[in-house]
Amino acid sequence: MKCDLCADSAVTFVRYNGSHLCSFHFREYFERRVKKEVRKEVSLYKGDTVGVAVSGGKDSMVTLHMMHQLFNEKNGIRVVCISIDEGIEGYRPPSLDIVRKYCEENGIEYHQRSFSELSGLTMDSIAPVSGENSPCTYCGVFRRKLMNDEARKVGAKYLATGHNLDDVAQSVMMNFVRGDVDRLARLGPHTKIRPGLIPRFYPLRMIPEKESLLYAMVSGIPFWDGECPYWSEALRNEYRDVVDSLEDRSPGTKYSIVSSYDKLKPLLSKDGEPRDVKFCECGEPCNGKRCKACEYEDQLLKKIE
């Protein structure tokens, strides 16, 4: 099969728009959409810092690569890669090696934080005592805390994460079906700045997962594709199947789920309402007296002893 735009052979068939693209034209098509999304979500100027949350998986590596391509010495915008070591033996260390090496080779600032800063916790010690909660619940809360803390420390104006179209479409469907309108309203990108919380944005938000993988491969971006031993979000997997089968029957469904959400968001968003901001003793913004991470930390320490 030939590329629709040149004489080279196609590396992909984009089903939702019926085009065959070679590796050069696929990359161009991909980068154009990422740039468009970034322009839509954030405004960065000379002297600004942008953080990128990187685990070493394909989506976060592609995000890091794109951010470094868009923001660098040329426009005076500083990119900081932030990784979190959750303490998962055999899984996290090799992925962090990939990230560190990529940063070294490309002259990107690398920052690493670790769960062990939280009273020596690791996911390997948390998982066996997580009880009714999925280990992912703790992992997510601690990861967000450390990530936000580091992003704040480096003075990041925004924090980019690797969420792709599939992730966002699944989250929208999941919260909609469960009637969790509050959570639905809180899905990023965040448009209003809240004190202490670095706003997140998603450069790959309109990029299907398949295309993110293909882009990493044709661009020679290294990534780690191991599976987390504690990953067991049954509910999310269910929605993945639902969204995938809808997409299968009518290509373009994932886009329409996300763009419908974008049209509805201004109507359900409490984003703009001023909130009573409180801060936990650890420095994180929170709703109650203490943040969720500190609460979990205490609970877990009692169970682990």
Distance (Å, whole) CA 299 – CA 295: 6
Residue 294 in the binding site for Zn ion (CB under 5 A): yes
Read off the amino acid at residue 279: F
Q: Are strands 200-201 and 278-279 parallel, antiparallel or unpaired?
A: unpaired
CA atoms of 174 and 239, how far apart (whole Å): 7
CB of 183 to Zn ion, least distance (A): 21
The residues, any chain, with a CB within 8 Å of residue 49's CB and separated by 6 or more, are 77, 78, 79, 80, 154, 155, 156, 157
If one asks whether residue 3 binds Zn ion (CB under 5 A), the answer comes out as: yes
Using the rule CB under 5 A, which residue among 42, 185, 282, 304 binds Zn ion?
282
Q: How many residues belong to the site for Zn ion (CB under 5 A)?
A: 11
Smallest distance from the beta carbon of 276 to Zn ion, in angstroms?
17
Neighbours of 206 (CB within 10 A): 19
6 binds Zn ion (CB under 5 A): yes
Which one of residues 11, 22, 53, 165 is an interface residue with Zn ion (CB under 5 A)?
A: 22
Task: Point out which span in 94-102, 170-178, 214-222, 294-302 binds Zn ion (CB under 5 A).
Answer: 294-302
- We find the least distance from the C-beta atom of residue 118 to Zn ion, in angstroms, to be 10
Q: Does 213 bind Zn ion (CB under 5 A)?
A: no
At 135, list the tokens. 């280990």
**Residues 98/104/107/110 CA torsion (nearest 10 deg):** 70
Task: Name the minimum Å distance from CB 25 to Zn ion.
Answer: 4
Q: What would the two tokens of residue 214 be?
A: 């293909």
| Rounded Cα distance, 230 and 247, in Å | 28
- Interface residue with Zn ion among 25, 78, 92, 240 (CB under 5 A) is 25
Site membership for Zn ion, residue 79 (CB under 5 A): no
Cβ at position 26, least distance to Zn ion in Å: 8
**Residue 5 binding Zn ion, by CB under 5 A:** yes
Q: Which residues bind Zn ion (CB under 5 A)?
A: 3, 5-6, 8, 22, 25, 280, 282, 284, 291, 294
